[in-house]
């Protein structure tokens, strides 16, 4: 049973003081001929509203409602009730500008609180209630709600996150309410929804009054839900099952706007099936868990900036379900704790401990915010990218893990400048995250295609194919990118005792970096939407990746190349993601049109107007001081022939080392040098038909005959059966295997290496074998295509 206890005044309806006598002065304004009009001019305050589950209490304190300009004054609500010709009850409501505030949210009188909330709004609604058109429903209705010029604010520790100038309009064509039973025969409520459509907009998502950007969107849903008493823990609580469909509507969209530049995802649809979502109030937290969630999401239109060419389309299929890994059970759940739960600093790795102590400095058990214990198990997911109708699938994505997260808003000195006013920041702490993820590989064409290589292309973005990780990390998010709106992020992360799959197959064999400690620090990581694409400016970055063993084969027993230690220091690096790939290119030669390409011995390919161009600039800095006061440099160390301890483990710094020390980029200008050019790597990525030649005559592994150098051609657009063809015609060339096509270029004006050194374990210091190596004016281009190996 669910019990609700209120301390103070009990509010039984959102805007009407229900079940209370109406004063005479209020009755003077009640009129009616064909209906009834009621105007209620009230304000109220509630000391505490509690939801009690198995003797544990979720407490919402110091609730107040009144006039928006002065919450202590009354706010007017006007309701008109009538009976329509079809016999349905018709209620319209108009709400004058009003304000609702919440002083704190606690669990069992906890010291910590979620903070304060404030909602300013005005609006109107229409409700039509009547009998059911379905035998299982006892009530059906249609609903329409509009909110204008609203503002929602969440405040902790004196700083706020707010949605300003909210406009919202929602329409439910038919909502049916009836009864149902679960598999155990327990009675519950069933909600049946024909269509729920809404649109929204915000004038600004703001931190401390500074805008991150604006949001707007439109969405249409349908579905059903079943709600029952009883959660996952104890005898009380709530659980539900639901099926929700995102209707296939070309007008669906979500848009983020930064200084007039748009990032748009539109024309999307999908479905979500939710099994046994439960809500329980525990002794010190709110438990939200689900047994299984599966579904799909498709977005057919993605636009960045003012480009008329879409990036392409995406497809996502996923399944999250409780499972077992390495003898441990992983569920899908969230434990929400009021306040900030700090980690045990003494138990943290030494490399991240000072950053953690600084991050939580000044906070205690009374601090406001939200702490969350997470646990997840992603059983399988497939993410597809569609480029001009051609599909590449990131296949077999799996992940599981658990960890603790804290979230609050606070003042933050974002630029380490005492003369600059502090900014409000979203502060996110990640403590003791331990988990794993993996990607089987790529499939091109459809989900039945064979697994192939190509995921290694993601390494340039530091997206790895697999990882077993331990993570502690601290993030500050402030408003304002490189100019105007946008987002700035400052982070300190440590991946400790981590295994990274650099290039592996679906069985987990390949190239592994094992026993990795990866210490990453970013300052001024700025994200903006420009008129040409998505721009990321990395003001300062320093890191150390210490790989204990670089292995070939199995992550635990594969042969080791030895230890690799990579130290990085960058200032002014950047990354842009722009719509459009390579377009028309000449593969195998240099030419500007099809005729000259063929004459030069190349192959002309028009890869369409979709695709993605990723431009990376790495400005490698000379050795110097970081903004945190530490010394950083670019250095690569390779060590092997190390001694081993009693357990057979290699001991670092006991072997022979070769060291590439102090390498950096510059523009080669001598005394007036700068580092504006850096090391540039551009990748133009498309999905396109590719020539796959037979390597020998005779039958292949599938028993299909062909001669050496014949082309593999699929029989039809399903790309299942195939044959080998010596000279395919144009129609057959369109049925070539699809490949992950990349046109790439690397350029640098000057790359300087201060010294190359050797260090023998018997000497204290490394000895220089080459000093002052310089590489100038390098420019390389290439065309790559990843296709299945046959």
pLDDT of 358 strictly over 80: yes
Give per-residue burial for 187-205: e unless 16+ CB within 10 Å, then b. ebebbbbebbbebbbbbbb
| Of the candidate ranges 13-27, 259-273, 320-334, the one whose mean pLDDT is the lowest | 13-27
208 torsion bin: left (phi>0), alpha (psi -120 to 50), beta (else): left
The candidate with the shortest Cα–Cα distance to 695, out of 787, 784, 782, is: 787
CA terminus-to-terminus distance, the chain: 63
Cα separation of 712 and 710, whole Å? 7
Output b/e per residue, 96-134; b: 16+ Cβ within 10 A.
ebbbbbbbbbbbbebebbbbbbbbbbbbebebbebeeee
**pLDDT tens track for 246-256:** 999 888 999 99
Tell me what the mean pLDDT of segment 534-558 comes to.
94
CA distance 175 to 190: 10
- DSSP calls for 751-778: EEEEEEEEE-TTSSS-EEEEEEEEEEEE
Q: Report the alpha-carbon distance of residue 494 to residue 469 in Å, rounded.
A: 10
Task: Indicate the DSSP class of residue 604.
Answer: E
pLDDT at 380 over 70: yes
- Residue 608: partners with Cβ closer than 8 Å, 6 or more residues away: 387, 388, 581, 583, 686
Residue-by-residue DSSP string for 150-194: EEEEEEETTEEEEEEEEEEEEEEEEEEEEEEE-TT--EEEEEEEE
Residue bearing the bigger pLDDT, 672 or 152: 152
pLDDT in tens, 498-507: 999 998 887 8
pLDDT at 790 over 60: no
Give the whole-angstrom CA distance, residue 765 versus residue 472: 33
Q: Which residue has the tokens 């704790």?
A: 337
C-alpha angle 497-505-683 in degrees, rounded to nearest 5: 90
Q: Residue 57: what pLDDT?
A: 96
pLDDT of residue 504: 85
Distance CA 546, CA 552 (A): 17
CB 29 within 8 A of CB 59: no
pLDDT of the residue at 131: 80
Q: Is the pLDDT of residue 425 over 80?
A: yes
pLDDT digits (tens, 9 = 90+) for 276-310: 999 999 999 999 999 999 999 999 999 998 777 78
Residue 788 has a pLDDT of 63
**Bridge-based pairing state of the strands 466-479 and 487-504:** antiparallel
**Residue with tokens 């039509």, as numbered in its chain:** 128
Give the pLDDT of residue 24: 58
Q: Are strands 767-786 and 738-759 parallel, antiparallel or unpaired?
A: antiparallel
121: closest CA among 159, 85, 182, 75? 75
Q: Which secondary-structure segment (H or E) carries 597?
A: helix 594-599
For residue 18, pLDDT beyond 90: no
Report whether pLDDT(3) > 60. Answer: no
E strands present in 202-343: 204-207, 210-229, 238-246, 253-258, 261-281, 286-304, 313-321, 323-325, 328-330, 332-338
User: What is the pLDDT averaged over residues 728-741?
Assistant: 89
Question: d(Cα 746, Cα 784) in Å, to the nearest integer?
Answer: 14
pLDDT for residue 9 is more than 60: no
Question: Would you say 316 and 383 are in contact if contact means Cβ atoms under 8 Å apart?
Answer: yes
Tell me whether residue 374 is exposed, middle or buried, using C-beta atoms within 10 angstroms of its C-beta: 0 to 12, 13 to 18, 19 or more: middle
Dump pLDDT digits (tens) for 619-631. 999 999 999 999 9
pLDDT at 56 > cutoff 90:
yes
Residue 204 confidence class, pLDDT cut points 50, 70, 90: confident
Give the pLDDT confidence score for residue 199 in this predicted structure.
95
**CA angle in degrees (0–180, nearest 5) for 366-372-375:** 155
Residue 447 has pLDDT above 60, yes or no: yes
pLDDT confidence of residue 468: 96
What pLDDT is recorded for position 2? 36
Is the pLDDT assigned to residue 82 strictly greater than 60?
A: yes
Per DSSP, the three-state class of 346 is helix
Residue 402 has pLDDT above 90, yes or no: yes
pLDDT of amino acid 679: 95
| Percent over 70 (pLDDT), the chain | 93
pLDDT in tens, 31-40: 555 678 999 9
Mean pLDDT of the chain: 89
Nearest of 730, 734, 708, 712 to residue 721 by alpha carbon:
712
Residue 360 in this model has a pLDDT that exceeds 80: yes
pLDDT confidence tier of residue 7, bands split at 50, 70 and 90: very low
**Cβ of 47: how many Cβ atoms within 10 Å?**
12
pLDDT, position 73? 95
Residue 221 has pLDDT above 60, yes or no: yes
**pLDDT at position 4 over 90:** no
Long-range CB contacts (< 8 A, 24+ apart) of 265-269? Answer: 265/299, 265/301, 265/302, 266/299, 266/300, 266/301, 266/302, 266/303, 267/299, 267/300, 267/301, 268/297, 268/298, 268/299, 268/300, 268/301, 269/245, 269/297, 269/298
Instruction: With beta carbons less than 8 A apart as the criterion, state whether 668 and 749 touch.
Output: yes
Binned at pLDDT 50, 70 and 90, residue 337 comes out as: very high
* pLDDT range class, residue 422, cuts 50, 70, 90: confident
Name the residue among 319, 302, 204 with its Cα closest to residue 252. Answer: 302
Q: What is the pLDDT of residue 130?
A: 87
* CA–CA separation, 42 and 78 (whole Å): 11
Is 445 in contact with 460 (CB distance < 8 Å)? no
> pLDDT band at residue 459, thresholds of 50, 70 and 90?
confident
Give the pLDDT of residue 148.
Answer: 87
Inform me whether the pLDDT recorded for 761 exceeds 70: yes
- Residue 184 has a pLDDT of 80
Q: What percent of the chain has pLDDT over 90?
A: 66
pLDDT greater at residue 374 or residue 260: 374
Distance CA 508, CA 501 (A): 8
């Amino acid at each position: 049973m669910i019990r609700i206890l209120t301390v103070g005044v009990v509010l039984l309806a959102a805007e009407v003081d229900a079940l209370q006598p109406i004063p005479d002065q209020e009755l003077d304004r009640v009129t009616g001929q064909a209906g009834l009009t009621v105007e209620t001019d009230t304000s109220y305050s509630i000391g505490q509203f509690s939801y009690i589950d198995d003797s544990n209490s979720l407490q919402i304190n110091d609730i107040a409602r009144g006039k928006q300009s002065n919450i202590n004054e009354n706010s007017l609500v006007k309701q008109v009730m009538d009976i329509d010709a079809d016999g349905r009850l018709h209620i319209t409501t108009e709400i004058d500008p009003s304000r609702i505030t919440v002083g704190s949210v606690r669990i069992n009188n906890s010291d910590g609180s979620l903070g304060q909330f404030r909602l300013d709004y005005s609006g109107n609604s229409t409700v039509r209630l009547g009998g059911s058109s379905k035998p299982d429903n006892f009530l059906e209705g249609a609903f329409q709600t509009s909110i204008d010029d609203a503002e929602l604010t969440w405040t902790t520790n004196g700083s706020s996150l707010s949605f300003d100038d909210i406009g919202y309009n929602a329409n439910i064509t038919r909502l049916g309410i009836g009864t149902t039973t679960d598999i155990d025969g327990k009675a519950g409520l069933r909600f049946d929804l024909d269509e729920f459509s809404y649109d929204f907009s915000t004038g600004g998502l703001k931190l401390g009054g500074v805008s991150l950007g604006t949001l707007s969107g439109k969405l249409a849903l349908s579905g059903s839900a079943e709600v029952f008493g009883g959660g996952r823990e104890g005898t009380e609580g709530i659980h539900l099952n639901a099926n929700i469909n995102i209707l296939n509507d070309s007008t669906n969209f979500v848009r983020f706007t930064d200084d007039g530049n748009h990032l748009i995802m539109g024309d999307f649809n999908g479905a979500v099936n939710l099994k046994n979502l439960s809500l329980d109030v525990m002794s010190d937290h709110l438990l939200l868990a689900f047994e299984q969630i599966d579904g799909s999401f498709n977005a057919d239109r993605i636009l960045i900036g003012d480009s008329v060419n879409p990036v392409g389309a995406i497809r996502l299929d996923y399944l999250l379900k409780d499972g077992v890994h390495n003898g441990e059970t992983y569920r899908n759940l969230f434990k929400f704790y009021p306040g900030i739960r700090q980690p045990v600093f003494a138990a943290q790795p030494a490399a991240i401990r000072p950053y953690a102590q600084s991050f939580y400095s000044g906070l205690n058990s009374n601090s406001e915010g939200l702490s969350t214990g997470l646990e997840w198990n992603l059983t399988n997911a497939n993410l597809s990218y569609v480029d001009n109708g051609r599909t590449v699938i990131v296949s077999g994505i799996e992940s599981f893990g658990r960890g603790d997260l804290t979230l609050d808003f606070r003042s933050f000195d974002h630029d380490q400048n005492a003369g600059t006013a502090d900014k409000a920041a979203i502060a996110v702490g990640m403590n003791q995250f331990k988990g794993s993820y993996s990607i089987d590989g790529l499939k091109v064409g459809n989900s039945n295609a064979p697994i192939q290589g190509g995921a290694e292309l993601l390494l340039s973005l530091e997206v790895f194919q697999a990882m077993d990780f331990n993570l502690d990390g601290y993030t500050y998010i402030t408003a304002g990118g490189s100019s105007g709106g946008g987002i700035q992020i400052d982070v300190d992360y440590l991946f400790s005792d981590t295994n990274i799959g650099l290039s592996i197959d679906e069985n987990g064999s390949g190239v592994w970096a094992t026993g990795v400690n990866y210490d990453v620090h970013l300052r001024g990581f700025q994200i903006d939407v420009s008129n040409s694409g998505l721009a990321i400016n990395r003001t300062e970055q320093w890191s150390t990746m210490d790989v204990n063993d670089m292995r070939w084969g199995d992550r635990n027993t594969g042969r080791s190349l030895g230890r690799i230690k990579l130290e990085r220091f960058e200032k002014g690096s950047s990354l842009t993601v722009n719509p459009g790939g390579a377009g028309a290119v000449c593969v195998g030669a240099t030419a500007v049109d099809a005729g000259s390409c063929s004459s030069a011995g190349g192959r002309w390919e028009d890869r369409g107007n979709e695709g993605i161009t990723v431009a990376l600039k790495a400005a490698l800095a000379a050795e110097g001081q970081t903004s945190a006061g530490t010394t950083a440099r670019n250095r690569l160390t390779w060590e092997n022939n190390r001694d081993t301890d009693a357990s057979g483990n290699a001991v670092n710094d006991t072997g022979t080392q070769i060291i590439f020390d102090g390498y950096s980029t510059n523009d080669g200008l001598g005394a007036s040098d700068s580092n504006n050019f850096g090391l540039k790597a551009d990748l133009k990525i498309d999905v396109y038909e590719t020539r796959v030649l037979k390597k020998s005559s005779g039958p292949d592994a599938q028993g299909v005959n062909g001669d050496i150098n014949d082309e593999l051609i699929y029989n039809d657009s399903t790309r299942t059966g195939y044959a080998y063809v010596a000279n395919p015609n144009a129609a057959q060339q369109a049925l070539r295997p699809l490949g992950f096509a990349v046109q790439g270029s690397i350029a640098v004006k000057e790359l300087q290496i201060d010294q190359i050194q050797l260090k023998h374990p018997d000497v204290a210091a490394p000895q220089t074998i080459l000093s002052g190596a310089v590489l100038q004016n390098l420019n390389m281009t290439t065309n790559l295509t990843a296709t299945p190996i046959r």
